[in-house]
């Protein structure tokens, strides 16, 4: 798989691995994240395969399940991240402007991915009903049960996002995955999209929270200061990655490049790029808060600062950072 390519082997010290699974049931998709813009080959062009995307005019609804124990200081920046899609600030580089690139992704009728994201409902599971060692198949059943029992609505234009706390071990998380998305058929016979992202603060900060932690492989470099905390910012970066993939390629028939079982998607086609001039081990030129010394590239609501990954721009045919 990943290590068969000499190019990827040479970049391995700086790689962050993300798996996105999309299924009639579950298909694991592995992606490297840290690759400089100067090394993205011309062949890295996402192709539209004719399938549906999550398009407008209705907003994409996020149904958020907090699995495990989360401190309020970690929850707040995550909910503020979602609020930032529909409540842009006066700043020019924002979560909303980052999402604008996704509008270039269209379906066969010429409809774009929805420009609006809203946090529709939140559920909590502080009792760890699945335990603290969770299989991916359990997440599938878990989400389906929430929909079938009407704790959450059956929404074909929604994403059911399970966030697991730092003390929960999820199959493949921190091994070859920082998050994944997939789909299930509910009792209403609708196919809906769900996703998982874990808190990497303890288990694998060097893989799933880079550049806010020393890289897990290769020569150690200085970790950047995270504006919202390593765990929260790691989660947000990976939510952004999964969100872009789930909206443009929800059922493995949308926009992607490569093998359908292991495709590059909207963000994973641009691994490790957060600012201009990125190269292996260097995320690119970023803004730095003068008081906290935190590095970021986008503004959100309530004075939040976020670090969002580059996204493949199908119009300009390049990896585009938030501007």
What single string gives the DSSP state of each residue in 39-72?
G--TT---EE-S----BSSSPEEEEEEEES---H
Residues 276-287 pLDDT 10s: 999 988 999 999
Tell me how far apart the alpha carbons of residues 190 and 101 are, in angstroms, rounded to a whole number: 28
- Count the alpha carbons within 13 Å of 148 in the hemisphere toward its beta carbon: 12
Query: pLDDT category, 37, cuts 50, 70, 90?
Result: very low
Q: How high is the pLDDT of residue 88?
A: 67
Residue 25 pLDDT > 50, yes or no?
no
The reported pTM is: 0.88
Residue 36 pLDDT > 90, yes or no?
no
**What is the rounded end-to-end Cα distance, in angstroms, of the chain?**
34
* Pair of tokens at residue 263: 């495709």
Which residue in 111, 141, 139, 140 sits closest to 247, CA to CA? 111
Span 179-200, average pLDDT: 95
What single string gives the DSSP state of each residue in 223-281?
PPBPSS-HHHHHHHHHHHHHHHHHHHSTTSSSEEBS-TTS-B-TTTTSTT--SBT-BTT
Residues 198-242 pLDDT 10s: 999 999 999 999 999 999 776 677 899 999 999 999 999 999 999
Q: How high is the pLDDT of residue 42?
A: 47
Query: pLDDT category, 57, cuts 50, 70, 90?
Result: confident
Spell out the residues 6+ positions from residue 284 whose beta carbon is closer than 8 angstroms to its own.
37, 273, 274, 275, 276, 277, 278, 321
Q: How high is the pLDDT of residue 8?
A: 32
Q: How high is the pLDDT of residue 86?
A: 86
Tell me how far apart the alpha carbons of residues 24 and 1 are, in angstroms, rounded to a whole number: 22
User: Percent of the chain scored above 70 by pLDDT?
Assistant: 85
Q: How high is the pLDDT of residue 260?
A: 80
Query: C-alpha distances in angstroms, 118 versus 59, 74, 87, 230?
Result: 6, 19, 10, 24
Span 263-274, average pLDDT: 94
Q: Residue 309, SS3? A: coil
* Pair of tokens at residue 213: 């932690």
For 5-33, letters b (16+ CB in 10 Å) and e give eeeeeebeebbbbbbbbbbeeebbbbbbb
- Count the alpha carbons within 13 Å of 110 in the hemisphere toward its beta carbon: 0
Q: How high is the pLDDT of residue 27?
A: 32
Tell me how far apart the alpha carbons of residues 75 and 22 are, in angstroms, rounded to a whole number: 27
Tell me how far apart the alpha carbons of residues 306 and 296 are, in angstroms, rounded to a whole number: 5
Residue 197 pLDDT > 50, yes or no?
yes
Residue 29 pLDDT > 70, yes or no?
no
Residues 83-112 pLDDT 10s: 999 876 667 899 999 999 999 999 999 999
């Amino acid at each position: 798989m990943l290590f068969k390519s000499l190019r990827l082997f040479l970049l391995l010290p700086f790689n962050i691995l993300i798996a996105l699974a999309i299924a009639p049931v579950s298909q694991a998709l592995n992606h490297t994240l840290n690759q400089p813009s100067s090394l993205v080959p011309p062949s890295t062009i996402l192709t539209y395969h004719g399938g549906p995307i999550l398009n407008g005019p209705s907003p994409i609804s996020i149904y958020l399940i907090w699995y495990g124990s989360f401190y309020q200081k970690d929850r707040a920046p995550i909910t503020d991240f979602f609020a930032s899609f529909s409540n842009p600030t006066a700043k020019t580089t924002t979560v909303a402007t980052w999402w604008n690139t996704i509008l270039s992704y269209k379906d066969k009728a010429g409809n774009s991915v929805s420009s609006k994201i809203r946090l529709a409902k939140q559920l909590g599971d502080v009792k760890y009903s699945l335990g603290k060692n969770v299989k991916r198949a359990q997440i599938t059943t878990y989400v389906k049960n929430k929909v079938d029992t009407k704790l959450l609505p059956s929404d074909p234009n929604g994403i059911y996002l399970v966030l697991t706390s730092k003390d929960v071990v999820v199959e493949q998380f921190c091994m070859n995955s920082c998050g994944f998305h997939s789909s299930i058929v509910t009792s209403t016979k609708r196919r809906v999209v769900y996703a998982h992202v874990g808190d990497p603060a303890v288990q694998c900060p060097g893989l799933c929270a880079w550049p806010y932690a020393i890289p897990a492989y290769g020569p150690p470099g200085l970790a950047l200061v995270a504006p919202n905390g390593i765990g929260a910012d790691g989660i947000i970066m990976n939510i952004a990655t999964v969100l872009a993939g789930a909206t443009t390629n929800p059922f493995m028939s949308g926009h992607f490049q490569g093998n359908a079982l292991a495709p590059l998607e909207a963000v994973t086609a641009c691994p490790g790029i957060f600012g201009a001039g990125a190269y292996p081990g260097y995320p690119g030129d970023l803004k730095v808060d003068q008081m906290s010394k935190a590095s970021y590239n986008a503004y959100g609501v309530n004075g939040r600062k976020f670090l969002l990954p580059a996204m493949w721009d199908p119009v300009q045919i390049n990896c585009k950072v938030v501007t």
